[in-house]
Structure 1
Amino acid sequence: MLTKSFIPTLLLAAWLPLAQAEEFAIDPTHTYASFEIDHLGFSTQRGQFNRSSGIVEFDPEGKTGRIDISIDVASLDTGFELRDKVLRGESWFNAKDHPYIFFRSQTLIFTDERLSAVDGILVMLGEVRPLRLDISRFKCGFNLAKRQHGCGADATGVLRRSDFGLSNGLPFIGDEVRLRIQVEAYRP
């Protein structure tokens, strides 16, 4: 049984691991979510979202942190404007009613001292599903070109679009989507 005096202590204990975390703002000029999907078995179609925002909190000593990324659906770009308009429309991503895709981390996973994966949730078209992002590159340090301290990563994950209600064109257009996110974030 939790006592009234125990609850503030519990809340403080839950907050303490992040107290040492540094906060970084997502750099929208170096952060893109891109995707790959099978097209009729003939080719792999690719696209990206050109606008994103969010924050990264990271404590390398405590191996804790969090990642919150918002992806602007209206910035979808496959290199073909007519297809982009269709994909942004009501039958697909419905950018008018669902203007953002969100990723929020739940657990940072380390292999030895290296961040190797992030388990979190993806929110798209009002559906919430778990998503693991594998980290192939991760670095924090001073960026000489920007003259700022920051962190960057390359992340990949796989999702099924039908889990989010995107069943158009199945089975001709693939259900499996390979998601790639390159991210850089710097101290505000």
Structure 2
Amino acid sequence: MKKITILLAIIAIQTTVFAQTTWKNDKMHSHLQFTITHLAINDVDGVFKDFDVTVTTTKPDFSDAVFNLTANVASVNTGVDMRDNHLKTAEFFDVTTYPTITFTSTAITKVSPGKYKLTGKFTLHGVTKTITMDLWYRGTVVNPQSKANDAGFQLTGELKRSDFNLGSKFGPPMLSDEVEIKAVGEFAEAK
């Protein structure tokens, strides 16, 4: 009987240690931003207000994490209605034909404690490319309101508009080809 109890305890510990957990972004505390340079002298920021991210992992340091993002392109917001409406047309995002942006990670490489290179398939404007960005795992805490675990992340990187056939009529210096990406957020452990 004692051997069975010990065996069950070992199985329970292994299941707990290696159990996959799922995390979902807290929309009130998450932000998906892009920055582009206008006329080579000024940065213009925008956000996608409607997006979902799911993270799955079996390790507490997220060193084996898989990230999946879907953003509603029509939620683009630069703070100027006229510009936002133009971005939604076929000259840029073409939201009618390409309503979502997606990213699915395919590899994560640890650089230092809490710092990773995240590689994955990024789909924008009907084009899928493999990209690598910098991921900072900022830690996990117990949220005092929900009493659940919350993890924090920051993702930064750069894309080229030309890789995705986006806004090809508006080349440099009108708009930079390079677009900076910054995503920050809190993720609640799904129960």
- Which bin holds the TM-score, normalised by the shorter protein? 0.7 to 0.9
Count matched residues: 171
Aligned letter for 1:83? R
2:189 aligned partner: 187
Alignment of 1:58-77 (within 5 A): 58-60=57-59, 63-77=63-77
Where structure 2 has 5 or more consecutive residues not aligned to the other structure, the ranges are 1-17
2:13 aligned partner: none
Where structure 1 has 5 or more consecutive residues not aligned to the other structure, the ranges are 1-18
Q: 76-85 or 127-136: which moved more?
A: 127-136
Which whole-Å deviations, capped at 9, do the CAs of 1:71-99 have from their partners, x for residues lacking one? Answer: 11111000000100000112110111111
1:3 aligned partner: none
Q: Please say if 1:176 is aligned against 2:178.
A: yes
Distance 1:52 1:64 in 2: 23
Alignment of 1:143-182 (within 5 A): 143-166=143-166, 167-171=168-172, 172-182=174-184
3-state SS of the aligned residue for 1:86? helix
Q: Alignment RMSD, CA only?
A: 1.9
Distance 2:140 2:40 in 1: 40
Task: Provide TM-score, normalisation by structure 2.
Answer: 0.82
Distance 2:147 2:27 in 1: 17
1:138 aligned partner: 138
Shift of the alpha carbon at 1:145? 3.5
3-state SS of the aligned residue for 1:93? coil
Distance 2:187 2:77 in 1: 22
Higher CA-based Rg: 2
Which whole-Å deviations, capped at 9, do the CAs of 1:123-153 have from their partners, x for residues lacking one? Answer: 0011011111212452223122342212120
Task: Provide TM-score, normalisation by structure 1.
Answer: 0.83
Provide runs of 4+ in structure 1 moved above 4 Å.
Answer: none
Say if 1:32 and 1:51, in contact at 8 Å, map to a contact too: no
Say if 2:114 and 2:137, in contact at 8 Å, map to a contact too: no
Shift of the alpha carbon at 1:54? 2.7
Say if 1:108 and 1:115, in contact at 8 Å, map to a contact too: no
C-alpha spacing 1:126/1:100, structure 2 compared with 1 (3 Å): same
Shift of the alpha carbon at 1:155? 0.9
Aligned letter for 1:25? K
2:118 aligned partner: 118
